Structure 1
Amino acid sequence: MTLDAQTPDEYISKVPEDRREAVSKLRETVKQHLPKGFQECISYKMIGYVVPHSLYPDGYHCDPSLPLPFINIASQKNFIALYHSGIYANPKLHDWFVKEYPKYVSTKLDMGKSCIRFKNSKNIPFELIAELCQKMTPKDWITLYEQNIKKS
């Protein structure tokens, strides 16, 4: 499901009614807990949190005209998704999240490389997501990105 929106608010307004509250709460959780320096925008037709060119002029290696992506939130066809690049690039962060998840949610974790899928909006561990958001600053992400991703 792709939502054509120019702003995060417009994106939220186009999310199906039964998911809108959960997506809004997920957005607010991320916004309130991300360290200073990340910027909210529409990125890849999703709500995105990026390292702006003002902090990282090189931009994203796949397309340097784009800011460096970090987190995305999307309402997909069958689930709400949180894409977190830090989980993909940092095995310790990934392992921490996988270990902590069952402490917050009784259902099985549905996760890809960077994608955490929530099929039931009542099972989103907002407190855990808040903690996850606090674990990496823009500077930390730039360093990790340059070490692990940009060089490949």
Structure 2
Amino acid sequence: MTYIAETPEDYIKKLPEKRKAAISKLRQVILDHLPKGFQETMSYGMIGYVVPHKLYPRGYHTNPDLPLPFINIASQKNHIALYHNGIYADDSLLKWFTSEYPKHTKYKLDMGRICIRFKKIDDIPYDLIGDLVSRMTPKQWIKLYKSTLK
């Protein structure tokens, strides 16, 4: 689902009541654990965390006017989604996350290559998400991203 919003706060205000608390908490966990240098913004109609142009002037290869995306969170029709580009690009990070996930929740991991779907919003593993977010700095993400372009 797309919510037209100028700011993360505006995005959250437009959510259904039952989603506001979960997205707010997920956002706060990300902000609390996000390494210095990433920037919170609205990106692709979602709350996004990007490498700003001042750190990576080339921007996103498909549209250099956009900053390099890293993480997005969104309220979708049937779930809350966390999109983590680092998991897509780093097999060791993906392996770590998939092995840790069952230790933090009783529900089976529902994941695409980049998207982690939380259908049980009362059981989002916030501690694990905080740990995941903290595992890659902007410098590491830029290096990994550039290596995937070759």
Q: When the two structures are superposed, what TM-score results if normalisation uses the length of structure 2?
A: 0.99
Aligned twin of 2:72: 72
Q: Give ranges in structure 2 of 5+ residues lacking alignment.
A: none
Q: Which residue of 2 aligns with 1:33?
A: 33
Offset of residue 61 of structure 1: 0.1
- Aligned 1:1-152 pairs, distance under 5 A: 1-148=1-148, 150-151=149-150
Q: State the superposition RMSD in angstroms.
A: 0.5
The Cα shift of 1:113 comes to 0.7
The Cα offsets for residues 104-144 of structure 1, whole Å up to 9 and x where unpaired, read as 00110000011000001111000000000110000000000
Whichever residue aligns with residue 2 of structure 1, its letter is T
Gaps of at least 5 residues in structure 1 are none
User: What is the letter of the counterpart of residue 144 of structure 1?
Assistant: L
Q: Distance in 1 between matches of 2:137 and 2:11?
A: 25
Provide, for residues 11-65 of structure 1, a one-character-per-residue CA deviation record: whole Å limited to 9, x for no partner. Answer: 0101110011000000000011010000000000000000000000000000000
Once the two structures are superposed, residues 46-103 of structure 1 have per-residue CA deviations (whole angstroms, 9 ceiling, x without a partner) of 0000000000000000000000000000000100000000000000000000000000
